[in-house]
Chain A
């Protein structure tokens, strides 16, 4: 009989190990959420630009064009656009541009933005110094603000055989209404979309 209990003890140990593995995998899945963000930031996956404290690169004579792109989600009653469509700068040179947001509604609204740069392979050379990335912005009714972005393009891009042909980089932002700020009423049904919804919704807020 002792071999029988031995058997069940061994079985229990194997099963416990299996359940620990399962728990570990669930844990890893949740750990992957911040890790994914980190991977994007470090490697430029999905076109995530780099962030630096200051610009330590040398200015090159080589020029590059940066285009500025802006999108607003329908739920956000804002006007949001770059103050200049594009700029041509030297590699390594720091540049300050800005986007303008205007709250078109009659109540305070909080927005949050996502952003990326394309071509995706240029992301690891696109470095932002000061930005409104992911910081929430609350605008009072009718308020307009300029949102500054300081950035430079790392001249190391010239040494990247896969990316050195890139002559134009697009920096794109999308503004959303923050999740906490979504009004209580039923969410707008997306299928009833209307291109000029930012203005059409003005009265309802």
Chain B
């Protein structure tokens, strides 16, 4: 594991200056496979719990459906007109009716316990060391690191710029991905500038609406380094299908390096106040 991460650190650091090359070589730990049947590989504590809970629900769902199907098939075999020419006149059975009311209640309670544990776990926030702000626009994302004054747009790459041979995926790549550190609690603030959007990364178990005029908040903690994809999940107009989300999760050290780079770049541009003042004077 350490060898792998050392290798990883090595090549990422060499690529910091040529960030466009990042898109091509990162592993994609949670990317779906052809004929995928279940949730993506989880890469956060919340997503791990979601997968666990879903597998539990899947068992219950399957059992219930199979029981109903089996009862229907049994009726078809045992009580078809040939096998049972004289129907019974039985229309009541109080005990039976109590049982089939009580058993679903018990099953629901069995579901509710882990469900609520998960819900309140997702809602509980430790004090994250990093805050990012995700702004939905028609039809691209803007990412801000409010504490560092870093802000950039993340625009989708059109089909003709996708290099499938280099492991890129049509409809999923952006020009500037969001860089986030692994093993760090991250606070995510959500808002939008025009209509509703929803920023989601299935592998992180994060999905929340970006609502104009309002801020939402959730948190995540990425456990596996790599490249993660998401797609806007609230109908937002013509190009709803064309505003992908890409996150590069890197080690905290690499993230710090990237951040320092960004801050250095920031220092070279005239700051907002001067620019605005110049405009007003015009």
Contacts and interface: CB of A to CB of B under 8 A. Distances in A.
Q: Do A and B come from one complex?
A: yes
Interface stretch (B213-221, B227-235, B253-261): B213-221
Nearest to A190: B194
A69 interface: yes
A199 B276 contact: yes
B176 to A, nearest CB: 12
A185 interface: no
B217 A191 contact: no
B138 interface: yes
B97 interface: no
Contact of B276 (A67, A79, A174): A79
Contacts of B138: 190-191, 193
A128 interface: no
Majority DSSP secondary structure for residues of A touching B = mixed
**Range for the number of chain A residues in contact with chain B:** 20 to 34
B257 to A, nearest CB: 23
Interface string A104-146: 1000000000101011110000000000000000000010000
Contacts of A195: 142, 153
B213 A118 contact: no
Contacts of B126: 165
A165 B216 CA distance: 18
Interface in B240-257: none
A46 interface: yes
Contact of A168 (B133, B187, B193): B187
Contacts of A102: 276, 280
Contacts of B194: 74, 190, 193
Given A191-B138, A193-B138, A202-B279, A114 B213 contact: yes
Given A67-B146, A142-B280, A165-B125, A170 B238 contact: no
A86 to B, nearest CB: 8
B120 A162 contact: yes
Nearest to A193: B137
B137 A118 contact: no
Contacts of A74: 193-194
B50 interface: no
Given A67-B131, A85-B147, A120-B217, A172 B191 contact: yes
A151 interface: no
A138 B238 CA distance: 35
Given A71-B191, A116-B214, A168 B127 contact: yes
B43 to A, nearest CB: 23
Contacts of B124: 162, 165
Contacts of B128: 168
A173 to B, nearest CB: 9
A167 interface: yes
A133 to B, nearest CB: 13
A119 B279 contact: no
Contacts of A191: 138-139, 237-239
Given A74-B193, A168-B187, A199-B275, A104 B127 contact: no
A181 interface: no
Nearest to B124: A165
B156 to A, nearest CB: 14
B193 A73 contact: yes
Contact of B279 (A67, A104, A118, A168): A104
B267 interface: no
A47 B125 CA distance: 16
Contacts of A165: 124-126
A21 interface: no
A47 B215 contact: yes
B146 A85 contact: yes
A118 B123 contact: no
Contact of A170 (B189, B212, B272): B189
Interface in A28-70: 46-47, 67, 69
6 contacts: A79-B276, A119-B125, A162-B120, A162-B124, A193-B137, A193-B193
Given A69-B133, A73-B193, A174-B213, 16 more contacts: A69-B215, A73-B213, A79-B276, A85-B146, A85-B147, A118-B189, A119-B217, A166-B125, A167-B127, A170-B189, A172-B191, A172-B215, A174-B212, A191-B238, A199-B279, A202-B280
